[in-house]
Amino acid sequence: MKNQRYFLIQFLCVMAVLLAIMTQGITPWAKIKPLFGYPKEENTVPLTFKTFYDGSYQNYLTEHAKRNTGFREWWIRLYNQLLYSGFHKISNNNVVEGEDRDLFINMYLNDITGATLQQKFGSVEEAKDQARRHAWETVQMMDVLRKHGTYFLYVFAPTKTSVYPEKMPQHYRDNIADFSLEEYYIELFKEFGIPHIDLYHYFQAVGDTSRYLIYTKAASHWSEYAVQIAADTILKTLNEITKYNLPSIELLDDNITTDYSDYDWELEKSMNLLLPWPRSPQPRPQYILSDTTGKDHPNLLVVGDSYFDQIMFSCFKNAFKKWDFWQYLMNVYSSKGYWRVPFSNIPDTDNTIREADIILGINTAPMMYNFMSGFPMKVLKLYALQEEDILEAQELIRNNAAWYEAVVKQAEQHHLTVEENLRINAIYYLENRKHRKQ
């Protein structure tokens, strides 16, 4: 009789747990914060003979059950917390904890130790050869852009491993490579005279003495404090190298807070722990564009990686009439209304290049292995004159009586045939058809 009572109690407990799980899964009751980094949408697979026969429907049901099991997120967070607190392990294999609980991701650790270079090239000399080729392509691109009235500026962004190498795990500190591809690109840009901003070495130099952190403990991107400095530096540099009169950034308030931006705690968030980390006060600066009256508002195209994301979310983009951000040449953000749209889905990207008054490149170390995602060659190919373009321009000149008469007179003065001079003028027109303030 006593055993029956125990079995009944156990049965009721199990049923209560199952009922709670079912209730939480199908009702709004006790909803739990979704896990970070997991897809929120699932692709429904209909039940048909084909989907049942090939097993895709069964796979869908299994995945659907995983996604919709009650308290799933809580159990996963509890497991991750026990793993981290009890055994000092992180369930996210892409995140590594260094000294004083500073978090890093493998991509930057592999770069600073030379593992990525060995994987991509096999030798330093091969990496140097490609970097020099990319630098030369950039010079050619820059010359073509200037002919069409477009300025170019490149930003070398820092990495957490370069700013705080002493905070990396001991294994990585002991194996820092002698050669840095980003540093070599900086040397090449100086050699070739390519306009650039070296924030890589700047933040590296001030990392230990900076008033606030360049990277928070739980971030892989630069802090909101560093972003404000970067945005202001870019605008001031563009003022120097172009003829445009752009506004500058005015800091209103350091806004010291423990309410971090998503970027300042992104790696902790990706660990999906049950208990949040304590956060030390960190600035989330509030700043505006100053001296906006009577300023120029050129069109901007940014080609880079996620290190422009935070700048994009600031007032920086308001200095420009139109702006586009091509992230890895994979996603597009734009003042035209595009927001994280696949690059291949955007119509007439060539026209965006033609309309740009300023093209800004911005990358960090791991992106040097695929420099600007091949953008310089895209520009060179775009502006390479095709024979049909020249013939069309010649016909345009013929149909303009005054223009054609001037071409005929010029041909006589330079002892050229009319057709020879017509072709010269057509090419000149095509190469200089975009009139910008020089």
Domain positions in the chain are 2-89, 99-383, 387-431
What pLDDT shows up at residue 421? 86
What pLDDT shows up at residue 432? 73
What phi and psi, each to the nearest 5 degrees, are found at residue 68?
A: -110, 10
Report yes or no: 134 and 371 within 8 Å, Cβ to Cβ: yes
At 433, the pLDDT band (50, 70, 90 cuts) reads low
Q: Are strands 331-334 and 339-342 parallel, antiparallel or unpaired?
A: antiparallel
Angstrom distance (rounded) from CA 49 to CA 209: 67
For 52-113, the DSSP string reads HHSSHHHHHHHHHHHHHSTTHHHHHHHHHHHHHHHH---S-TTEEE-GGG-EEEHHHHHHHT
Question: Higher confidence at residue 59 or residue 297?
Answer: 297
Work out the average pLDDT over 339-354. 92
Residue 86 has pLDDT above 80, yes or no: yes
Residue 53 has pLDDT above 80, yes or no: no
What pLDDT shows up at residue 64? 63
Please, is 174 exposed, middle or buried when counting C-beta atoms within 10 Å of its C-beta (0-12, 13-18, 19+)? exposed
Work out the average pLDDT over 124-129. 95
What pLDDT shows up at residue 364? 95
Least confident of 146-150, 218-222, 343-347, 382-386: 382-386
Q: Can you say whether residue 245 is alpha, beta or left, with left for phi > 0 and alpha for psi between -120 and 50 degrees?
A: beta
For 44-56, the DSSP string reads -----HHHHHSSH
Residue 330 has pLDDT above 50, yes or no: yes
Question: Higher confidence at residue 319 or residue 18?
Answer: 319
Angstrom distance (rounded) from CA 59 to CA 403: 70
Residue 214 has pLDDT above 50, yes or no: yes
Least confident of 58-62, 112-116, 146-150, 227-231: 58-62
Amino acid (one-letter) located at 30? A
Residue percentage of the chain with pLDDT more than 70: 88
Angstrom distance (rounded) from CA 339 to CA 317: 14
Angstrom distance (rounded) from CA 33 to CA 23: 16
304, β-bridge pairs: 327, 362
325, β-bridge pairs: 302, 333
Angle (CA) 424 356 381, round 5°: 50
Residue 175 has pLDDT above 80, yes or no: yes
The per-residue pLDDT for range 183-211, each reduced to its tens digit, is 999 999 999 999 999 999 999 999 888 98
Residue 177 has pLDDT above 80, yes or no: yes
Query: Exposure pattern of 24-40 as b/e (b: 16+ CB <10 Å)?
Result: beeeeeeeeeebeeeee
What phi and psi, each to the nearest 5 degrees, are found at residue 156?
A: -90, 110
Axis crossing angle, helix 418-431 with helix 387-398, rounded to the nearest 10: 110
Angstrom distance (rounded) from CA 165 to CA 203: 12
Cα separation of the two ends of the chain: 97
Question: Higher confidence at residue 177 or residue 426?
Answer: 177
What pLDDT shows up at residue 438? 43
Angstrom distance (rounded) from CA 204 to CA 212: 14
CA–centroid distance for 220 within its chain: 12
Residue 25 has pLDDT above 70, yes or no: no
What pLDDT shows up at residue 136? 94
Residue 410 has pLDDT above 80, yes or no: yes
Residue 332 has pLDDT above 50, yes or no: yes
Amino acid (one-letter) located at 10? Q
Angle (CA) 384 389 393, round 5°: 125
What pLDDT shows up at residue 117? 94
253, β-bridge pairs: 286
- Give me the residue label for tokens 């109690």: 9
What pLDDT shows up at residue 49? 76
- Give me the residue label for tokens 């593992």: 115
The closest of 341, 343, 289, 349 to 320, measured between CA atoms, is: 289
What pLDDT shows up at residue 220? 93
At 291, the pLDDT band (50, 70, 90 cuts) reads confident
At 56, the pLDDT band (50, 70, 90 cuts) reads confident
What pLDDT shows up at residue 377? 93
pTM for this entry: 0.80
Report yes or no: 227 and 314 within 8 Å, Cβ to Cβ: yes
What are the residues whose beta carbons fall under 8 Å from the beta carbon of 310, sequence distance 6 or more? 221, 222, 224, 227, 261, 263
Angstrom distance (rounded) from CA 226 to CA 232: 10
